[in-house]
Structure 1
Amino acid sequence: MNNFSLESVDGKIKNLDDYKGKTLVLYFYPKDSTKGCTIEAMEFSDLKDEFDKVGAVVVGISKDKIKSHKNFIEKDNLKVELLSDPDRKVAESFKVLKAGKMCGRDVIKTVRSTFIFNKDGKLVKEFRDVKPQGHASDVLIYLKENDL
């Protein structure tokens, strides 16, 4: 998997190497403050203590700008880190973009997907085209059942 450099809401540039030593739950979602994305982010946030117990950090990525991420975090009291991928190059490298239609127009959509990296930075699990509700729990169950 290619490394990346993306801006975080704290203004720092983050890449995969920054998370070595921890299990990384990297999830891609379509858009800040939309119904499904809010459900998913809030469920990951609600389970933050459980993810901490298994040594995992949860990071969300979307095309939204940092200002939008900050508003999303503040509005919904989110406890996950969000990174901005405005040109969608990272989403493209993870193959989570798909052509579709919206209001009769051709668009490129982000397919809701999660990637788990072990403490050495190796990709060990992919969840693709997931439903937002219950997904955070599914990821946590996987982490508890597998020593990463």
Structure 2
Amino acid sequence: MTDNVRLHPGDPAPDFTLTTDTGDKLALTDLRGRRVVLYAYPAAMTPGCTTQACDFRDSLASLKAAGYEVVGISPDEPAALAKFRDRDALTFPLVSDPDRAVLTAYGAYGEKKLYGKTVTGVIRSTFVIDAEGRIVLAQYNVKATGHVAKLRRDLGLG
């Protein structure tokens, strides 16, 4: 069994520059000065990931009002992310990490339990990064349903 990296509050958030659902590049450093919610999900357009993405979409105005940018990350190619964005009217960037290097750096890729079996894949995770690029909150193995409401409570947003 491999030991997955786990990030903790105060750790520097691993930097990245990845291709988005629009084909543009997005670097974490582009978001310096703003707080970021980076959430890792296994696959675009699957039921759980759709539920989670739509929850973020529906909470985006209040998250932005509280000073948070939302970015979703998965191993999907940009074309699949664009389809996901268009199908579900997603209004925040989705970034593509096809080699899973960034997901691995965040501890969001590795061994996990799926229906009682150990498999290797994306670990549904959420990271809150402060304006200086440090981890404020790292949540692993989060549930797709109800996670955004829990995250809002954890951030004191009600």
Query: Please, what TM-score do these two structures have when normalized by structure 1?
Result: 0.89
Alignment of 1:104-123 (within 5 A): 108-123=120-135
Residue-pair matches, total: 144
Q: Letter of the 2:76 partner, please give it.
A: D
Q: Letter of the 2:25 partner, please give it.
A: I
d(CA) in 2 for partners of 1:138, 1:106? 26
Is the counterpart of residue 75 in structure 1 residue 111 in structure 2? Answer: no
Q: C-alpha offsets along residues 117-142 of structure 1, whole Å, 9 cap, x if unaligned?
A: 01111111111100011111122222
Is the 8 Å Cα contact of residues 104 and 110 (structure 2) preserved in structure 1? no
Specify the SS of the correspondent of 1:47: helix
Q: Name the residue aligned to 1:124.
A: 136
The runs of at least 4 consecutive aligned structure 1 residues that moved more than 4 Å come to none
Gaps of 5+ in 1: none
d(CA) in 2 for partners of 1:48, 1:95? 25
d(CA) in 1 for partners of 2:128, 2:54? 19
Is the 8 Å Cα contact of residues 36 and 129 (structure 2) preserved in structure 1? yes
Is the 8 Å Cα contact of residues 54 and 143 (structure 1) preserved in structure 2? no
| Cα root mean square deviation, aligned | 2.0
Is the 8 Å Cα contact of residues 38 and 70 (structure 2) preserved in structure 1? yes
**Structure 1 pair 94–56 and aligned structure 2 pair: CA distance change class (3 A):** same
d(CA) in 2 for partners of 1:64, 1:42? 17
Is the counterpart of residue 32 in structure 1 residue 51 in structure 2? Answer: no
Identical aligned residues as a percent:
34
For residue 65 of structure 1, the aligned residue among 48, 53, 77 is 77
**Structure 1 pair 120–73 and aligned structure 2 pair: CA distance change class (3 A):** same
**Structure 1 pair 53–100 and aligned structure 2 pair: CA distance change class (3 A):** closer
Specify the SS of the correspondent of 2:155: helix
Is the counterpart of residue 96 in structure 1 residue 108 in structure 2? Answer: yes
d(CA) in 2 for partners of 1:79, 1:141? 22
Is the counterpart of residue 55 in structure 1 residue 64 in structure 2? Answer: no
Is the 8 Å Cα contact of residues 112 and 123 (structure 2) preserved in structure 1? no
Q: C-alpha offsets along residues 52-102 of structure 1, whole Å, 9 cap, x if unaligned?
A: 110101100000000000000111111221000001000111111223688
